Amino acid sequence: MSQGTGSSEQVEKDSPAAPVTSGTPAPASRLEPMGPSGPAPVAVPPPEPGEATLELSGAGQGGQVVVTSPRGKLLGSYAVGPGQTILLRGAPGEYVVRSPDAPHGLVVPVVERTHVQVGPTGLTMVRDEGPTPGPVVRVGRSAAARDGNWRRPVSPILSALVPGLGQMVNREYARGAGFLLGAVSLGGVALGLALTRDPSDAATPGAHGRTFASDVVGAAGLGLLTGGLHLLYMAQVMDAYAGAIGKRTPKPHSRHKVSLELRRMATVGMRAGDPAAQLYADWNVGVLGQVAPRFSVGLTDLGLKFGPGRAVLQGGPRLQYRVLERGRVWLSLAAGAIVQGAFASGTPPAVPEGEKPPRTAAVAAIPYGQLDLRLFILDRWSIDIVPRISAPLGAARYYRQDGAIPKQAITLELGTGLGVYF
């Protein structure tokens, strides 16, 4: 352990010990002093890269506090006098600050800098108004890593396997249960809607037993449910990591150079047979570069799809301008076009003599305009909701399997996805 003002090696025992004051050293077997609590120096060294700062300041008569890791690992005990400040620096994460005789303490998430005031009425987190001179104590990175940092990679992985499990590992049991219940509910209703079929419906081949309107409503409902499930799943994985690092209020990375996106654009289209309408989904990726503040250009809607006897390759340019930045919410307006090429695959069919062979390739241009709503869960990660209006020109727009939208058909799409910013 390195310390800014001198200290011995880190504590080896998990059990808390008696408080250490500035004038009374602790027994070596139980607690070693983490640093001084004497008069504040005139100059404070800047934090090292990757360090976070926990500021302890005395209000009124001040008092004594004990600082531990979330699992109870004792990191130090400090006497904070009236008007005195002590700066603890170490790995970002959660720390527990409590009075020596209190069974429970204040859980303090420390990302960059957090200020806790120690007074006769107890402990209070206050708004940080800038650096304050005070003795600097560096808490060993290894101790924090053993006690809390293991959750950073583990929590999002567990939430990716079982929704809400990462939050439960972070000891946010109600939050985890809410995510799990929401995912099970959305998934169950979507699955039930997808499997619902009336065995007596359309008993005659080619006859539409249900109305076209009911088919559209059913397909649209399935699209909304599955889109909501996508958003919830991605959000709870990011939320598990946010809980592990103790940062619930992200600061969106507005000065990014490049952003990547993964999206599913979904719409309802007509089809032959029964049901007469079904959900068409288009998964794609995109890359955008921010060439000026709030203004981005790039190549998006990149994808490869296969259908009966054809392969489809697509992609196109997009211009995007961010019109609103409010906290963790961004709203952008965008316009672009998808260029889609469809190519016949497999053995070409036999053509009678004298007849023209069928077309083996078709190119469509799909211009569109869209809103882009982004909600940040982490500083560099967001979930996206994208309503879009588009219309294929020149040829039909193909989706995977047998999905297709006829040319010049105005289409309302709803996109759900995630974005990452560098």
- In this prediction, residues 78-106 reach a mean pLDDT of 84
pLDDT in tens, 277-302: 788 999 999 999 999 999 999 999 99
Distance between CA atoms of 195 and 143, rounded to whole angstroms?
52
Task: List % helix, strand, coil for the chain (3-state, nearest 5).
Answer: 20, 40, 40
Number of Cβ atoms within 10 Å of the Cβ of 247: 18
For residue 309, which of 401, 211, 207 has the smallest C-alpha distance?
Answer: 401
pLDDT in tens, 346-379: 666 666 666 666 667 889 999 999 999 999 999 9
Contact (Cβ atoms closer than 8 angstroms) between residue 74 and residue 16: yes
pLDDT in tens, 371-415: 999 999 999 999 999 999 999 998 889 888 878 888 899 999 999
**Omega before 275 within 30 of 0, i.e. cis:** yes
The H or E element spanning position 238 is helix 212-245
For residue 361, which of 384, 342, 336, 383 has the smallest C-alpha distance?
Answer: 342
Contact (Cβ atoms closer than 8 angstroms) between residue 14 and residue 73: yes
Distance between CA atoms of 333 and 289, rounded to whole angstroms?
15
- In this prediction, residues 245-258 reach a mean pLDDT of 88
